[in-house]
Copies of this chain bind each other. A is one copy, B any other.
């Protein structure tokens, strides 16, 4: 499968904080830790757990920039 989603960052799940509807999933990647807010369904569907190998996907329109 090829995705139009330009930003694809490989990493490993390090923490999952789950609620009834949403979950906050922490992923360690090159140079830091990312947080994804996804649905509980998605966590269950993908069988995500600490140690899962994942790829973080970010559409370019969702990426802002800051300068010092």
Interface residues of A (CB under 8 A from B): 1-10, 17-25, 27, 29-32, 34-43, 45-48, 52-68
Give A66 to B54 CA distance when docked, in angstroms: 5
B36 x A60 contact (CB < 8 A): yes
**Among candidates B24, B65, B68, residue contacting A36 with C-beta atoms closer than 8 Å:** B65
- Determine whether the beta carbon of A7 is less than 8 Å from that of B21: no
A31 touches B54 (CB 8 A): no
B35 touches A4 (CB 8 A): no
Q: Is the CB of A65 within 8 A of B32?
A: no
CB within 8 A of A65: which of B54, B60, B64, B67? B54
Cβ 8 A contact of A24, one of B8, B21, B46 = B21
